[in-house]
Structure 1
């Protein structure tokens, strides 16, 4: 697979293309985003096994997400019964699960590598928290390792960004899919920077809007209840924008006309 190099402005264009795709079948894409959100909530409530299982399933979820948006881009009506269709080819789910387990292993390895040098400080901060209920030392102690983890995460996440779809759509072996994904992300690093910063600003803006609504006198529980569907809506557009990044970076044919 040959990845092209796009300008930084492509990052914003991917978001616009995702919005255009979302408008074609909003309820279908919203339903998928809600389903993924419910899985994530369940995973969070069943820690520590739930989050690890969710990460292991991420390649399969990614492939289904891009397949769904390709389906919409092709102008075909999307039904929930079609969600599992991309995972049906023989041996594909197993490959994606292996990829997911590898993802979990790297996450745990990087986390251990980053947080272990700060274990003593974290222990002291936790003791202060238990004795005084003061979270300030813990937050201050977590800043450096969390920043390091985020840096390493973005580096190795490039390996897995396109690998599920390369495996699922093109039959690329796992090792080559990781390599091609990393090269594609590196060649388009500035576009991805714009893409990531723009989405971070959008979601932060949504949180700020909720804060403003609460400050105007709306009860917090009502504001929180309204925030969930709004975040799912944003997630729907985010997921829809994954497909444009793939077809533009790998110069594949796609239907993205407005």
Structure 2
């Protein structure tokens, strides 16, 4: 396995390929994404342990969606089936559950460390909320110290997000050890910085355009509901705003496999 350096324009190509592959089987992608999000949401509700269990599932989600994308793209002679994508995704997670679990535990430990560091900023308010499920008043949540602590945790978690970008795929397709996969993922992103920057900018444009269009539609429905033209219109408008954000997220994740495929070559 070796790193492949790609030109900046490849980032836009990844987005095109992701969108094209997503629309080959949109219902399967959205269903798989919603299933993972539901699982993460469910475990996050577990008292005290929820904030630790949720990060453990993230590598499984990344791998499952990448495998589903590879199946949808490679099966170019005929339209991929949703059951085939689901079977491939869950088979991959089952076969690599041990290294995926290691990646998940690393993710959880890093998250806890980042949250604990926020104690230096707000005296432990955010840590109590995130790790101990403590209640917090709206006034305290709006305080400058609490908001600064949240920003700090987000910034501290950015390196982990970058390290986890390719790590599950490296473990699955190249049998790289979990810790080494985190390092190689970071190296790939920095060596191909221009391509990944273009990738993020292109997706930002897609999100912006999609958000504007869907936002206008949702606002219109909410306005119609407020004018007495049907309470259902307002409810549908609100649901569209939430649903569209989740669909756009599923679309963006459908392109991550292409970033991995073009960043690494097999010796």
Structure 1 length-normalised TM: 0.79
Give secondary structure in 2 for the equivalent of 1:83. helix
Q: How far apart in 2 are the matches of 1:36 and 1:201?
A: 26
8 A Cα contact 1:121 1:141, kept in partner: no
2:72 aligns with 72
Match of 1:221 among 224, 231, 235: 235
Q: How far apart in 2 are the matches of 1:46 and 1:222?
A: 30
Q: How far apart in 1 are the matches of 2:181 and 2:116?
A: 26
8 A Cα contact 1:110 1:152, kept in partner: yes
Shift of the 27–121 alpha-carbon distance from structure 1 to 2, 3 Å rule, reads closer
Q: 1:234 aligned to 2:256?
A: no
Match of 1:158 among 156, 159, 162: 162
In structure 1, the gaps of 5 or more residues are 253-258
1:94 aligns with 98
Shift of the 211–105 alpha-carbon distance from structure 1 to 2, 3 Å rule, reads same
Higher mean C-alpha displacement, 52-61 vs 140-149: 140-149
8 A Cα contact 1:63 1:86, kept in partner: yes
Q: How far apart in 1 are the matches of 2:97 and 2:176?
A: 14
Q: 1:172 aligned to 2:143?
A: no
Give secondary structure in 1 for the equivalent of 2:3. coil
2:35 aligns with 35
2:6 aligns with 6
Higher mean C-alpha displacement, 213-222 vs 69-78: 213-222
5 Å-filtered alignment, 1:1-258, equals: 1-46=1-46, 48-75=48-75, 76-79=80-83, 80-89=86-95, 92-113=96-117, 115-120=118-123, 130=137, 134=139, 137-138=142-143, 140-200=144-204, 202-203=206-207, 212-213=216-217, 215-216=219-220, 217-219=223-225, 220-251=234-265
Structure 2 length-normalised TM: 0.77
Shift of the 205–52 alpha-carbon distance from structure 1 to 2, 3 Å rule, reads farther
Q: How far apart in 2 are the matches of 1:109 and 1:23?
A: 39
User: Once superposed, which parts of structure 1, at least 4 consecutive aligned residues long, lie more than 6 Å away?
Assistant: none
Structure with larger RCO (C-alpha < 8 A, sep 6+): 1
